[in-house]
Structures are given as structure tokens and as C-alpha cells.
Amino acid sequence: MSSPPLLEGFTVLDLSSVGPASRCSRILADYGASVIKVGPTSRKASVQIQPPYFSYGAGRGMKRVQVDLKATEGKAAFLRLAAAADVVIESFRPGVAARLGIGYDDLKRLNPRVVYCSTSGYGQDGPYSSWTGHDLNYLALGGFLDCSSRRDDGAPAIPGATVADSAAGGMQAAIAILAALLRRGASGEGAYLDVSVADGVLSLMSLHIDEYLATRNEPGPGSNILTGRYACYDLYRTRDGKWLSLAAIEPAFFANLCKALGLERWIPYQLDDARQEEIRAALRKAFAERDRDDWIAELAPADTCVAPVYSVPELVDDPHLLARKVFLEAKHPEHGGFRQVGPVLAGGRREQPAHRVRSEAETDTDALLREVGMTKQQIEELRHAGVVE
């Protein structure tokens, strides 16, 4: 018999609709937490971005309540939910939650054990705290873009994934929440967490930043082995026009590669700056002689640190990923069936029944409010007043 999900029994209120906070609640739900998405009523829906039906796991494993937080009765209903919650996540501009009367101090009076997580681009204080921004802005300020490869016009390339939102923001928030819950288990005390996505980018960039602070060596494209200084860590085009990645940092792996390609003469010069263009030219010529998948079949199992550069249409049918059960089935009432990325982080339950995606109008408001002590008549009065849906 399988063990229960790792976060079973924890209740999370998530006031966000997109971005780092929603990335965080997706992670917590994948570990079994009961996540309740708190959104505005339909008449106030324009205040939030509504993500596409397939995004953020399409609401998999989550419940939904719609409430007008600016209405006195709506705020009171939310506070009832918050009084019974383990975690509250919000992504308003700094100070907004407090002005609405649902900030940490407001909730702590009702629920001293609550873990309250505020996510924002630049943090709750500091000169930039009021700035608006998105993923690209945080990667720019945190040095990530400047250390990335350049486009033909000399500008840093725009990353192919929202690294700041997902890793610097969502994962940071999830880690902080889990740490706070662990401490609460010992002390009984809740916590307030100020998650700054820009701070999170600094954590991702710490290898480069710490090197600069210690040595004054300025990082950037080609400045060290991890940013393309050496031919053993690069991308190469194959005969069919596709690409493969080479990351043979360790001398033994580079030697394995050179032997497999008949390029043994370059083994002693792996980190010789004067010979890098010659080595790159030799590798380009060798890899151009065969198709990508032929090279992968030969080299990847041979300790050479080679992997294919996949497009998304390729990776969703990769036999290794399919064997790892990383995709789940889902079905939308209007758009039909589709696959989606499942709980792929370690400890998540990969084998699950098909997820039934609910329509935007379907909520759990009545059931959730009844769970925190409201009567059927009270809920009907709130609904009639347009305060909940």
C-alpha cells in the first residue's frame, strides 16, 4: 500500500492567479496539500489575469472559491477560511493585502500558526519594492541575462523558460513555506515570508556573483567553463540540422568523447585557451557527419555527457520521459482531452487518474464555507448580495 501524499492534511489558500505564487501553490498541491484558489467574483474578475485552461496544471487537485474581498461580508468570509488554513499565499503589490484587512497581522490575530507568504518582484521593502515587473525584468536585474549568450544584434537572448517565475519565485516560495511548516511543527509558531523574485535570481546566480565578489573576475558569455569558454561545453549542429548538447567538463568524459570521434589528439588541450577554436572546428566537423539521434545512440551511453537538444514536440514522446510517467491525462469539458506535465518533482505521485478540468464557473464556495461554520442561509445571503460565487 502506498504512503499518503507528503503534504496531506495541510490547507493552503492561494490568492494569486498567475506567476510565482501560482507556481508555488502548484508545487504544494502536487505534494498533496489541499490548495484553495481564492479568486474575485465574476463582476470583479478583471482585476486578475485569467490563465489559459491548460496552464498551472489546469487546476489539478485544487479547489476554488470566489469572493469579493473589498466587501465587508466577503472579507469576513475569507477570514473564516484563513482562520482554519495552514498557509496563505498572496501576490498583491506590497501593502495592498494589509489595506484590504487580510495582511499577516490581521490573520495572525485569528490564526497564530498561519504561515503567510507574500510574493513580489522586488520584495516588500527597499527602493524598488513598488516597481512592477515580469520574469525578464528580474532576470535582467539579477545578472542572469548578462551572463547568457548573445543574439545577432548583441543583446542577451531571451530565455526559453520563465526561470525567474518558476525557480527564483515559485520554488523559493515553496521551499520557504516548507521550512516554516517544519519550524511550526516544533514551536507551534507561524511565520511571515517575504519572497522577492529578484532575490531568488541572485540565489540562482550565486556561483557567478560570489566568484566576482571574491576575485573581481567579471562573469559573462565565455568567461568560464559554464558560460561557453571551452569547446567541451557547447552546442553542436548535426547532419540533419538538429543540435546536440555537449557538457564533458571532467577530463575522463572529454577523453571518452575524443576517442569515440577519433579526435584523441585534442585530449591534452581540453582547457588550453589557445586551442579552443581548433577544437570547436574539429568537433563541428565530426558532429556534422551524422544525424543527431545516431550520435546520441552511440555517445550518450558511453560516458561522454551528450544529450539531444529537443523541441517540445520531441520531448513529449521521448521514451525515457514516458517511462518515468511524467505526463498525466486531462479532459476539459469544451476543449477535450490532452496531456499535461504531472507531479514530476521528487516525492510527487506520478500515477494518477485522468484529471477532469472544471469550467471557470464551477467553484467549491458553498462546501468550503460550510466547512468553516457558515450556514446555508448565510451563504445564500452572500451569494444574493454578489459577495461570493
Label residues 2-19 b or e (16+ Cβ within 10 Å = b).
eeebbbeebbbbbbbbbb
Active site residue 273: no
Under 8 Å between Cβ of 82 and 17: no
Choosing from 14, 68, 165, 199, which is the catalytic residue? 165
Q: Which cell is 198 given? A: 529578484
Count of alpha carbons within 13 angstroms of residue 333, beta-carbon side: 6
Q: Which cell is 298 given? A: 552511440
Instruction: Determine the Cα–Cα distance for residues 58 and 356; give it in Å rounded to an integer.
Output: 9
Q: Which cell is 317 given? A: 514522446
CA dihedral 5, 11, 14, 17 (to 10 degrees): 40
Alpha helices in 272-318 (DSSP H): 276-287, 292-299, 312-315
Residue 338 contacts by C-beta under 8 Å, 6 or more apart in sequence?
A: 54, 329, 330, 331, 332
Choosing from 125, 134, 317, 335, which is the catalytic residue? 134
Instruction: Determine the Cα–Cα distance for residues 36 and 6; give it in Å rounded to an integer.
Output: 17
Sheet containing strand 327-332, edge to edge, reads 336-341, 327-332, 355-356
Instruction: Determine the Cα–Cα distance for residues 54 and 381; give it in Å rounded to an integer.
Output: 33
* DSSP letter string, 10-77: -EEEE--SSHHHHHHHHHHHHTT-EEEEEE--GGGGGGS----TTSGGGGTTEEEEEB-TTSHHHHHH
Active site residue 332: no
Under 8 Å between Cβ of 2 and 77: no
> What residues are annotated to the active site?
134, 165
